[in-house]
Structure 1
Amino acid sequence: MDGHGNPRPVGVQRAYWDVSGRLRRPPPEAVHAVERALDADPHEPPPAVEPVVVAWDGRLRARLRARRLPDRVACAVLLEDGTELGWRVVPTRELPDDQAMLRLPELLPLGAHRLRLAAGRERWQSVVLSAPRRLPAVPAPGWGVWVPSHALWSQKNGGPDFEALRRAAAWLREQGGGVLGTLPLYAGLLDEPCEPSPYLPASRLFWNELLVHTGGGSPRSGGPLDYRQAFRDRRTRLLELWRACGDRERQEVEAWAAGQPWLTEYAAFRALLDLQRRPWRQWPEPHRGGLVPEGSVDPDARGLYTYAQWLAGRQLERVAFEGVWVYLDLPLGVHPDGFDAWRFRGLFADGVTVGAPPDPFSARGQDWGFAPPHPHRVREDGYAYLRACLARAFSVARMLRLDHVMALHRLYWIPQGFSAAEGVYVRYPAEELYAAVMLEAARAGAVVVGEDLGTVPNEVRRELDKRGFWRMYVLLFELVGPGAREPGRNTVASLGTHDTPTFAGFWEGLDIAERERLLGLGAEAAQVERLRRASQVRSLARWLGVSSEDPRGALRALFRWLGRSPAACVLASVEDLWGETERHHLPGTPSHAYANWRRRMRYALEDWTQSEEVREVLAELRRARSAGG
């Protein structure tokens, strides 16, 4: 922001500081490619009124640019509920360059409203995001557990499904815990094409049909989850259930569907995808262009997806009704072959993907394979798509983690034909993005957690603190000297994440062997890391007062320590509680090299929820939270 409240300019950042403190300059050709993708004319004058105006705490201050500033401006605000407010406002000429400030005399309610301005023959309009300047403090549960949704299975119903998640929530409530964390639960591409990563969903607006509980089923422990077969089985069962629906239930589903934006298009897209069995960019017209004429798909093929979303919504409500907070992730992007990229293609930049520059964990940088939101086009949309994604998430989640929260400020764009090490940072209108997030969080009375791990500019963390966001604390990243840094107050503290080794895997150094085998870590470097890890483990064990040969004892001691810390919430990964060594995701590895997102939990739901060892560790955490958290 400048001194007049103008948003920080959107545009290309021609240099950046890397993780080692070196100033990096992308190749000029990469910068030019990104500028072409932005498709912005640097000589075009700014609009008379910005397409989005933020009203912090309801106080609207809008800039008006005009060569001849009017004496009075007619201002009308159309509120979300249809109410229209109007005033005649005198612009205050306090800004340079033919700019004036318009201040409305009344506070606006929370919401996304329409601002209309008129002076003489001139007419302007804008979207107003009226949001709290700081998220209100929400009393949240002090501890909970994290379970990987795709890996849950039950002796009773097989799985994975939302019913297993509900049963896990009920069990957690019985243990005294209050937060159930899991992976993103969004619809995925699980047939043709097939992408099992929950962080590359087909849509951030609809739930995962694979997780819809359809009754029956058989346990599928043991080998990796076969997504294609599991999805086909679930789709077949959903079609059977939909065809078996009576008139009353069909009417109920159809009445509900009529109030769900984009659901008709989504169901048609999924039915077309099943029919075409290839990415939408290879479909014939008019389907490729986003049109699905009547009769293009079988009504039942479309109906099963509508029915699945209706069931998913009801089943997720039951999870929330168990009395624990659901903690979900909002992925940064969507799969390029999915529904959102098809339906909202104009909101994404062409010819570029999102990633991360080189760092110690990925010497060549990372290319995540999805298109970034186009900063100008999402503004022109009034952030309607983003707000809809947030509203969908908050319909279930009382705590929502924003993946790669730095994206509210900037994103690393990689132009086609360039390596991940040659990417370019693009700035985004941070104030407006924060307002969009905070508006939807305030509606829901929810907590927002910013994923701020790794190299994150200080300005991002300062803004998170200023706006009342929580941050993340991951112990494996906070080991210093003989022990670890203490978590801050507004943090969600855990031992690791879905991208780190399990605690037992870390203790035994198994992640080093994985990187040596699969990620090109040299033998000499691997040996250095093993020696460093062994020293780290010995120091941590001494600090905790346990033997380095006793990882279970260290785990318990760490949860006691975290429990007494100032952290707002402590999360325990259920699999850590029985000493699991295999991880669910090894970043940087292709699916043929590592079973990313396919490993099932070692034990059925019925077994681990009855485990005395699991109960005892959680009881210690509960007591520590009561004593000092």
Structure 2
Amino acid sequence: MPTHDELINELAGLCGVIPEYWDIFGNKHTVSLETQKAILKIMRLNIGSEENIQKEIAELKTRPWNRFIEPVTVISINDQPLTIPLYIPVEEGKESELSISWSIENESGQRAEFILEGNSITVSDQRRINGKRHIKINLNDRGNRGIGYYTVSVLCKTPEIEISGKSRVIITPDACRLPAELEHGKTWGLSINLYSIRSDRNWGVGDFADLKKLVEWAAGLKAGFIGINPLHAIPNKKPFGISPYSPISRLYKNFIYLDVENIPEVRELTAHEKEIQDKLNELRREDLIDYEKVASLKENILRSAFKSFYENHYEQNSQRGLELKNYIAQEGNDLEMFTTYMALASLVTHHSPLFSWQEWPDEYRNPYSYASQEFKKTYKKVIIFHAYIQWLIDGQFREISEHAKDLGMSVGIYHDLAIGSIGGGSDAWPAQEIIADGTDLGAPPDDFNAGGQNWGFPPLIPEKLKESGYDYFIQTIRKNMKHCGALRIDHALGMFRQFWIPKDMPASQGAYVRLPSEDLLRIIALESVRNKTMVIAEDLGTIGENVRETLLRFGMLSYRLLYFERNYPDPSFTTPGRYPDTALCAVTTHDLPTIYGWWSGRDIEEKKRLGMYPDEGVWLRNICDRERDKEFLINALRAEGILPHGSELFTSKPMSPELCLAIYEFLARTPCKLVCVSLDDVIGTPDQQNMPGITDSYPSWMQKTPIPLEQIIPDVRFSVLSKMFQKNSR
């Protein structure tokens, strides 16, 4: 008989818990029994006794035989005709009494129907499950179908029993979309943090009017894309509610990006103009973004605008009113859940909005409860207000995206998808069945975070996600590709395995859990082709080559940063020719120093000030390594002939526009499909946008560009940059 510990190990393995992993330092970590138990409980498995554990093991080992039909099947378009297995309890010799009627229906409602009975039924396998004989019968489709989502419905009858079931079938392409211009070509683009844009006309935070100007300007510079931060909905409250990477929803967007003055109903408002102007001037003068004040000001204006819209358009069924109603109908349940959540969050307390459904009164914690349904009836107008906001966002964003294409940008808007959303948010509220409550996603200890990272939002339970037909995942990918020419998927390793950190445990005690990667990648490829969106998979960190090979097989671009592309174990920089062609390359990201900050060691100074170094020795090593790396970079530029040998550009001198340009020319010479230029690098911003692991002591996500957009656009450094890329055939 296996011991209790052996049973836990076996069950954890069946549930995808990886028993050991190697960290970035080459150290092997074995997952503790306590961590395995915690994860199994989070997955809602009964491990209260050895008998219960054995039952759970038996249940998993007998799948799919203990299911009539699998909840979902994901296949390549080239693996047709489709075969769907059924698992039916039938006594010996009774197969001839079976009658199976089944259909397959596409998204337009077109249906093909089939009947199997008597001699047309072939048993392909059999097994005894809990003492009962089960047979396997394959339902074979006729002919090939196009990519998309299908519903298979089955009714199986015998004289004694009747079994019915449904299954989702997803037929996918084998690779993501790549724009025709990039099949044999290359381009470049600008990466901006939209919220950070300072301009003379915005309301204290970068908005869609600024984005439109940036698109027009970048197109004039012959750039192929504009990269932006996630636009996900966030609380807009300090300290934890301002990161675009910790949203309440990845399905819907943050209203602070609205170009409020471009809304017809706002243009009709005249009241309080002087008071608003005074507040705007104050918000524009600030060097740091005041999310709460910006959000409050915009929300108040939007409420006044909605009052006019509701009376003059929604109730009157004007063309504009019908457009909103059509949007609401198309968005369906996802929008209803988001807008109901937003209404509840603002009304369940008498104070500020509460963006954590776990802290709401009990009766509202279930979105399908009687109280929640009554709330929707009572506060229908408030819910429509939040739908109105998302409709406005969708319209303005679509207009900018179409404008980018009309201007000839080969990619257009390049959006960013955060790893997850917070457990108390609107995405999690209706998805409690598939959310792994009681654990957070994160990363094991590495050279950037000695204690590991806890990202503060829950993972999805892989088996529960599959049982749902992957609907949550599909909607997340689809809505983030909408109106975008490219989508960067943050932490692409998370489609293969995710690092779970059970509550009350340090990150160092976490464990990796496997995900159904092939299915997830195929769904991304399908949505990529349908939405005409190319995919960049952020594959930084500890990631196996098999992961990169798989991402490449699906046509997802790798994500390569100059700082990390080295000839390890030799820390010298990789030559441009050794970069992969199916990749986006860049110097830095929001979590890393700008090139000016890296060159001056500003990030090292800040980490020292913030107490992020465990001891002075680590700090001094960082300083020495940085000086060495600067020498390596100069040598790499000289070896490429970008800087002449004997050049006067030495590491003791400050970063300059000329050296910054030379570094980007180094990347321009790579075969990478895309080169992403940080706006902050070109304008000389010293501080990085985010300092991971720090909440209050560093102004993460709050810093505005040091110069306004009106001065950035005519800046000669960008025209010089454009000419350099054109010279390098981009």
TM-score range, shorter chain: over 0.9
The answer to whether structure 1 residue 138 and structure 2 residue 179 are counterparts is yes
Structure 1's 393 and 537: CA in aligned 2 closer, same or farther, altered over 3 A?
same
In the alignment, is residue 494 of structure 1 matched against residue 586 of structure 2?
yes
Q: What is the DSSP-based 3-state SS (H/G/I as helix, E as strand, rest coil) of the residue aligned with 1:426?
A: strand
The corresponding residue for 2:255 is: 209
1:203-352 alignment, distance < 5 Å: 203-215=249-261, 217-218=280-281, 220-245=284-309, 246-247=312-313, 248=318, 249-261=320-332, 262-275=334-347, 276=349, 277-278=353-354, 279-290=356-367, 291-294=372-375, 298=379, 301-323=382-404, 324=409, 325-352=412-439
SS of structure 1 residue aligned to 2:363: coil
Q: Which residue of 2 aligns with 1:593?
A: 697
More deviation in 82-91 or 519-528? 82-91
Alignment of 1:115-514 (within 5 A): 115-120=152-157, 121-139=162-180, 140=182, 142-158=187-203, 159-191=205-237, 195-215=241-261, 217-218=280-281, 220-245=284-309, 246-247=312-313, 248=318, 249-261=320-332, 262-275=334-347, 276=349, 277-278=353-354, 279-290=356-367, 291-294=372-375, 298=379, 301-323=382-404, 324=409, 325-480=412-567, 481-485=571-575, 486-514=578-606
Secondary structure of 1:126 counterpart: strand
CA-CA distance at 1:106 after TM superposition: 1.6
Task: Indicate the larger mover: 434-443 or 96-105.
Answer: 96-105
> 1:221 touches 1:600 (CA, 8 Å); kept in 2?
no
Using the TM superposition, give the Cα deviation of residue 259 of structure 1 relative to its aligned residue in structure 2, in angstroms. Answer: 2.4
Corresponding position of 1:561: 666
Shift of 1:539: 2.3
Cα shift readout 1:6-42 (whole Å, capped 9, x = no counterpart): xx96521121222223321122111111011112422
Amino acid across the alignment from 2:35: A
User: Shift of residue 564 of structure 1?
Assistant: 2.2
- The answer as to whether partners of 1:353 and 1:368 remain within 8 angstroms in 2 is yes
Matched AA of 2:69? V
Secondary structure of the corresponding residue to residue 81 of structure 1: coil
Mean Cα displacement is larger for which, 287-296 or 301-310? 287-296
User: In structure 2, what is the Cα distance between the partners aligned to 1:22 and 1:520?
Assistant: 21
* 1:224/1:599 contact within 8 Å kept: yes
Moved more, 392-401 or 85-94: 85-94
Residue aligning to 2:265? none
Give the corresponding residue for 1:5.
Answer: none
Instruction: Please identify, of 472-481 and 307-316, the stretch whose mean Cα deviation from structure 2 is larger.
Output: 472-481
The aligned residue for residue 85 of structure 1 is 112
- Counterpart of 1:4? none
Kindly provide the amino acid, as one letter, of the partner of residue 364 in structure 2.
H
Distance 1:64 1:130 in 2: 19
Q: Alignment partner of 1:349: what SS? A: coil
Distance between the aligned counterparts of 2:307 and 2:671, measured in 1?
53
Residue aligned with 2:374, SS: coil
Normalized per residue, the structure richer in helix is: 2
Larger Cα-atom Rg: 2
Greater shift, 95-104 or 387-396, is seen at 95-104
> Which letter maps to 1:135?
C
> Please, which of 5, 12, 25 is the counterpart of residue 17 of structure 2?
12
State the one-letter code of the partner of 1:80.
E
1:111 maps to amino acid: G
Q: What letter is aligned with 1:56? A: S
Instruction: Describe the shift of the 1:117–1:251 C-alpha distance in structure 2 as closer, same or farther (beyond 3 A).
Output: closer
Post-superposition shift, 1:386? 1.5
Residue matched to 1:57: 77
Q: Which amino acid aligns with 2:539?
A: D
Aligned identity (percent) is 25
Number of equivalent positions: 618
CA contact (8 A) 1:190 1:228 kept: yes
> Is the contact made by 1:180 and 1:326 (CA closer than 8 Å) also made in structure 2?
yes
**Offset of residue 471 of structure 1:** 1.0
Change (3 A) 1:531 1:344: same
Native 8 Å contact 1:328 1:393 kept in 2:
yes
1:175 is displaced (CA, Å) by: 0.8
| 1:43 matched to 2:58 | yes
* Cα displacement (A) at 1:507: 1.1
Structure 1 unaligned spans of 5+: 1-7
Task: Give, in whole Å, the separation in 2 of the partners of 1:96 and 1:264.
Answer: 45
Task: Give the RMSD, CA atoms, in angstroms.
Answer: 2.4
1:93-113 CA distances to partner (integer Å, 9 max, x unpaired)? 667866565442321221111
Q: What's the secondary structure of 1:418's corresponding residue?
A: coil
Instruction: Choose 478-487 or 50-59, whichever is displaced more.
Output: 478-487
Name stretches of at least 5 consecutive residues in structure 2 with no aligned partner.
1-12, 46-55, 128-134, 262-276, 644-648
Q: Is the 8 A contact 1:79 1:113 kept in 2?
A: yes
Paired residue for 2:29, among 6, 9, 24?
24
* CA deviations over 1:427-449 (Å, ceiling 9, x no partner): 11112211221221121122111
- Partners of 2:191 and 2:226 within 8 A in 1: yes
Corresponding residue number in structure 1 for 2:655 = 551
How far has the Cα of 1:181 moved from its partner?
A: 0.3
1:241-264: CA deviation from partner (whole Å, max 9, x where unpaired): 112222234443234323222323
Equivalent residue in structure 1 for 2:149, among 73, 95, 112: 112
Q: Deviations over 1:479-526 (max 9, x none)?
A: 345432432111011111111110111111222222222213422211
1:187, 1:149 → 2: CA distance? Answer: 14
Q: Report how far residue 151 of structure 1 moved.
A: 0.4
Q: Contact 1:356 / 1:420 at 8 angstroms: preserved in 2?
A: yes
In 2: Cα distance, 1:255 partner to 1:465 partner:
39
CA contact (8 A) 1:513 1:526 kept: no
Cα deviation 1:227-274 (Å, max 9, x = unaligned): 111111111111111122222344432343232223233223212212
Q: Matches of 2:70 and 2:719 in 1, distance apart?
A: 55
Q: SS in structure 2 opposite 1:112?
A: strand
Structure 2 letter corresponding to 1:577 = V
Shift of 1:295: 6.8
Post-superposition offset of 1:605: 1.2
Decide whether the 8 Å contact of 2:14 with 2:57 is kept in 1: no
Question: 2:202 touches 2:284 (CA, 8 Å); kept in 1?
Answer: no
Aligned equivalents of 1:495 and 1:135: distance in 2?
25
1:616 is aligned to 720
Measured in 2, the distance between the counterparts of 1:214 and 1:332 equals: 29
Letter in 2 for 1:224: L
Q: Which residue of 1 aligns with 2:729?
A: 625
Given that 2:189 and 2:218 are in contact with CA atoms closer than 8 Å, whether structure 1 keeps it comes out as yes
CA distance in structure 2 between the aligned counterparts of 1:303 and 1:94, rounded to whole angstroms: 53
1:545-573 superposed Cα distances (whole Å, 9 cap, x missing partner): 34132633332122222212110111101
SS in 2 for 1:143: strand
